[in-house]
């Protein structure tokens, strides 16, 4: 079942490349904070690299001024996410989270079967906003679209 507004973010261990691969517990990541988590089907893929991640990099200061942390999620490994962050000049304060086996993505109910494209299990393109680990907004894209999970859209819909 897909996570819904009002639901608590499920506990999982993700990875992030910071002085080596570091575990990131989602409970700690979201506890007592405002966080925008956006997910992409894959690092280095066209829309993700040309629009999705760059939009959040460009608008990072606007989220930060509102006291909101920014995290990017992909079903990739931490080394790929680290290389993508470097390639895209992502600020160090943005969490580039690797869900290597897709367990967190499955727990959210937001997995995408991309086996027809040779990509296996991936995350649907989405953005969610949570306060203290509780989902306040959830924006899931229709297949092949990029509208409701953009940084601009999320900023526009924040109270």
Domain residue ranges in the chain: 13-157
Mean pLDDT score of the chain: 96
CATH architecture for the domain at 13-157: 3-Layer(aba) Sandwich (3.40)
Q: What is the pTM of this model?
A: 0.95
Of 156, 146, 157, the closest CA to residue 54 belongs to 146
Long-range contact pairs involving 142-149 (C-beta distance under 8 Å, separation at least 24): 146/47, 146/51, 146/52, 149/38, 149/39, 149/52, 149/125
pLDDT digits (tens, 9 = 90+) for 46-75: 999 999 999 999 999 999 999 999 999 999
Q: How far is CA 149 from the centre of its chain?
A: 10
pLDDT band at 120 (very low <50, low <70, confident <90, very high): confident
CB atoms inside a 10 Å sphere around CB 152:
13
The residues assigned a catalytic role are 48
């Amino acid at each position: 079942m897909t996570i819904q507004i009002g639901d608590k973010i499920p506990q999982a261990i993700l990875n992030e490349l910071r002085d080596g691969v570091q575990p990131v517990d989602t409970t700690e990541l979201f506890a007592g904070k405002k966080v925008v988590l956006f997910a992409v089907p894959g690092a280095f893929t066209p829309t993700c690299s040309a629009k999705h991640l760059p939009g959040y990099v460009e608008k990072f200061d606007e989220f930060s001024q509102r006291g909101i942390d920014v995290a990017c999620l992909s079903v990739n490994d931490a080394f790929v996410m680290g290389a993508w962050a470097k390639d895209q000049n992502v600020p160090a304060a943005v969490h580039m989270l690797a869900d290597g086996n897709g367990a967190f993505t499955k727990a959210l109910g937001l997995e995408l079967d991309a086996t027809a494209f040779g990509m296996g299990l991936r995350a649907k393109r989405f953005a969610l906003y949570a306060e203290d680990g509780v989902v306040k907004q959830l924006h899931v894209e229709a297949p092949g679209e990029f509208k409701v999970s953009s940084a601009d859209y999320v900023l526009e819909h924040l109270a």
